[in-house]
Amino acid sequence: MTPAFGTDGVRGDTRGPLTAHLVGAVGEAAGRVLGADRFAVGRDTRVSGPILVAALLTGIRRAGGSAVDLGVAPTPAVARWCHDEQVAGAVVSASHNPWHDNGVKLFAPGGRKLSDEAQHEVERHLDGLLAGGGGAAAAGAGADLESGGPRRTPPGQDGGRMHDPSGHVVSAGGAAGDLARRRHIEDVAASLEGRDLSGLRVVVDAANGAAYRSAPECLRGLGADVEVIHAAPDGYNINDGCGSLHPESLQAAVVASGADAGLAFDGDADRVLAVDGRGALVDGDQILAVCAIDRAQRGRLAGDAVAVTVMANLGLRQAMAARGIGVVETPVGDRFVLGALEERGLVLGGEQSGHLIFRDLATTGDGLLTAVHLLDAVKRSGSSLRDLAAGAMTRLPQVLVGVPMPASTRPPDLNEALGAISSEAAARLGDSGRVLVRPSGTEPLVRVMVEAADLETAQAEADHLSSRIKEALS
């Protein structure tokens, strides 16, 4: 089964559907559609990355284009390079997914998200290439993926270097890659307009991913005292019990070291979550609230509003309303947040996952940029991150449930039924809570989200909703 082409590209398991052949076809389709004869290509630290980059480059060349290989580089560093050089781009990454997954994320010339039209056109060309047997893996580079994907082997005593499945050591990128990372670090630092982070002690969890060098280097360059964990990628340990989805070791490290804050990146470093000095998680909603309030106080919040997805906590909405900051709501997905920012002339938006977009400073989500501006707000406030986050918003208890939805039994009027069930729950909660019920776009599930003034109420309502949905699906 071929992975579906999503809002940015494709993603799947390299031991199954995501082959070098497919990635070569993606490169060829992108080369034909995006109207750029030059591309920049980066990747995260997965063992399958070099093979897939080779396949992608071959596909781009088959379409008549050329590309610079930036090696291991955070997604925002690739986007920044595309902006500076006015070229199209691609990042071989599966973000927060485990090592065996990978994918291709595409950027239009200038480092912008693909328009709906461009996305559909790339997908149309991709379908045509696959149907006709087109697309090609790089010569000599795709055999392992085509025959079942990379296999996990114990990492050697090699200082954390990566190996492809044939055992060859993989470099982390040449001069172009070093320049791309340096430009990104310098741009992030320059966005503080001369301020620094001296006096702050920070623990960085690099997720054994693309930020393992950039994040510590940037923060230290800004004067912070930095301790680093999970920064020895071996091709297999990316996001493995670490990073933004697994912050437990970071929370423990922050408490043990007496740090002011911790920062948990994901595999490609386009998002970040924080940890306060007592080890409590500070999620994307709280980071957004802190940054929005800080910007509003300094007259830097264009339109006096932020863009968030439907999953944003009700507490964020209440906090923004209390400070006269508007909230523009979008469907789930950073591309929708960015679209709202551009349409409304706003500069700040994001998701609960920690994927924030500072539209006046970057063309895409940037975990390092977000982290630096959060820490900058902490330092200027004279407060701890814990106090600053607590003062910015009160996070209402939120319960998330997935109700399995067999495709064979899906009722034709499911959306209407879900709407009625959701309305009943919303009426029961009133202004003190919020309900979101929607079929998943990626899994055979109906997703249920309930927020309420206390966890017991939220859990009880979620359980009731789940029962009602199961009845509707039967």
Give the pair of three-digit tokens for residue 456: 């017991």
Alpha-helical (H) ranges within 132-246 are 143-146, 175-190, 214-221
Q: What is the DSSP letter of 377?
A: H
Distance CA 360, CA 355 (A): 15
Active site residue 166: no
Closest listed residue to residue 10, CA positions, set 108, 111, 122: 122
Distance between CA atoms of residues 270 and 253, nearest Å: 22
Describe the crossing of helices 20-33 and 116-131 by its angle, rounded to 10 degrees.
130
Note the helical H segments in 299-413.
314-322, 334-344, 367-381, 385-392
Assigned token pair, 229? 């964990």
Taking alpha carbons only, the member of 267, 249, 160 closest to residue 211 is 267
Closest by CA position to 458, among listed 395, 396, 399: 399
Structure tokens at 147: 């025959």
Q: Are strands 66-72 and 38-43 parallel, antiparallel or unpaired?
A: parallel
Distances (CA, A) of 164 to 104, 239, 254, 263: 18, 18, 34, 29
DSSP state of 408: G
Contact criterion met (CB below 8 Å) for 429 and 456: no
**CB 282, CB 385: distance < 8 Å:** yes
Residue 94: name the closest of 46, 62, 145 by CA. 46
The active-site residue, picked from 95, 214, 353, 422, is 95
To which residue do tokens 């090699």 refer? 158
For helices 49-62 and 20-33, what crossing angle results, to 10°?
Answer: 40
List 344's β-bridge partners, or say none. Answer: none
Of 368, 373, 428, residue with least CA distance to 215: 368
| Rounded Cα gap, residues 192 and 373, in angstroms | 8
Q: How far is residue 123 from each of residues 69, 237, 382, measured CA to CA in Å?
A: 23, 31, 50
Which residues form the catalytic set? Answer: 95
